[in-house]
Structure 1
Amino acid sequence: MKRIATLLATMATTFCAASALAADFQLGSTELKANQPMSKQQEFAGFGCNGGNQSPQLHWQNAPAGTKSFAITVYDPDAPTGSGWWHWGVVNIPASVSAVAAGSVPAGAVQTRTDYGTAGYGGACPPVGDKAHRYIHTVWALNVEQLPLDANASGALVGYMLNAHQLGKAQLITTYQRSK
């Protein structure tokens, strides 16, 4: 019993230390504010939307030890599809990078296919009159330098690979709504 108690105590300490480290990994933006609406710049241009379709500036800090690369995803869980909507996927961002400028990705990074059917950023475009949708911007710290993905990789495949290689993730959730 004493061995089990010692093992459980060690596991609890390790879990708390890992949780504390993961909590330090943070995502921010000069353009986006948590739980606030995105601007027209981040709205899609097409499907009845007429925004700027520009990816936002993002920056992150305190990545977990051992991070070999980063990835970015933007996902709308409120899209009326039954499976949400992938708006952006970027993989193979070098570990030396800690920010992306608005409308760009770092050299060597790969943008994957969105649910609009093409690679690259696809902005918010919720149905007119629908409730405000949430947009989950996530930066993933990964344990590999590169994922074997190209511009045709689907959101589901990207998500699978990210979950298989994540050391941690940081999120920024925003909203967007189109009025009648």
Structure 2
Amino acid sequence: MFTPIKALSLLAVSAALSACAPTTTAMIGGANAGNGGLMPSQRLSVAQPSASATAMSLRMTSPTISNGTALPMANVGSGNGCTGMNVSPALSWGGAPDGTMSYVLTMYDPDAPTGSGFWHWSVYNIPASVTTLAEGAGSAGGTLPAGAMQLNNDGGGLGYTGACPPVGDRAHRYVITLYALSKTITLPGGATPAYLGFNLNGATLAKTSLTAFYGR
């Protein structure tokens, strides 16, 4: 016979189990609409730079590139029909937040017809004391600051490779981004720029970008 005492006991057990269960909240609309309605417990959670990371005073300039303007021919690739000089741009920066231990610099074309964009340049472990890269520092024969390391670009060569979009494409974007990090980074041999990008998660204190355009 199901007595009131038994009913109370079942309710007590149910309450205890509920208190121990993980809490999940359904994703409905808004910024989470593209996640397929997955619950937080069903998605891989990766640490991201805080929202304040882009609101810091970190700033970057170039004597030859202004944000939103054409990429100079000096920074355009040579070969494959491109007639630039294939030289990495001169850059300078300041305003890094307290705790900055190193910098990472990348140049990325999100419009390349590859399905994953095209990494033109990736430099990591730039010392925190460094605030400039000379023109050509990332090109063949160039000199990087002591301690700084480069990865292969998506063309397969070490260091910088200039813009060279397909003929007839609308002008591509070339996004040069500087990251101020709370640590230096150790990467395995053969690491890709995408792998470097993954290692920026959780270590980025601030970042700033310049975007230039080039088409042919």
TM-score (norm 2): 0.70
Query: Tell me, which stretches of 5 or more residues in structure 2 are unaligned?
Result: 1-50, 138-143
Q: How much does 1:46 deviate?
A: 2.7
State the shift of 1:123 in Å.
Answer: 0.7
Q: 2:124 aligns to what SS in structure 1? A: strand
State the shift of 1:55 in Å: 0.4
TM-score (norm 1): 0.83
Q: Does 1:59 align with 2:92?
A: yes
Matched AA of 1:52: M
Residue-pair matches, total: 160
1:40 has 2:73 as partner: yes
The equivalent residue for 1:167 is 205
Unaligned runs of 5+ in 1: 1-17
- CA distance in structure 2 between the aligned counterparts of 1:151 and 1:120, rounded to whole angstroms: 15
Partner of 2:196: 158
- Larger CA deviation: 59-68 vs 149-158: 149-158
Q: How does 1:101-180 map to 2 (within 5 A)?
A: 101-104=134-137, 105-144=144-183, 146-149=184-187, 152-178=190-216
Task: State the Cα RMSD in Å.
Answer: 1.7
- Aligned-pair identity in percent equals 48
Distance 1:21 1:154, change over 3 A: closer
Contact kept? 2:172, 2:213, Cα under 8 Å: yes
- Conserved 8 A contact 2:53-2:206: no
Larger Rg: 2
Deviation at 1:21, TM superposition (A): 7.8
Q: Residue 161 and residue 107 in structure 1: after superposition, are their counterparts in 2 closer, same or farther (change >3 A)?
A: same
2: distance between equivalents of 1:20 and 1:70? 14
Distance 1:22 1:113 in 2: 30
Ranges of 4+ aligned residues in structure 1 off by more than 4 Å: none
Whether contact under 8 Å (1:111, 1:119) holds in the other structure is yes
What aligned pairs does 1:79-118 form with structure 2 within 5 A after superposition? 79-104=112-137, 105-118=144-157
1:133 alignment partner AA:
H
C-alpha separation in 2, matches of 1:44 and 1:31: 16
Which residue identity does 1:111 align to in structure 2? Q
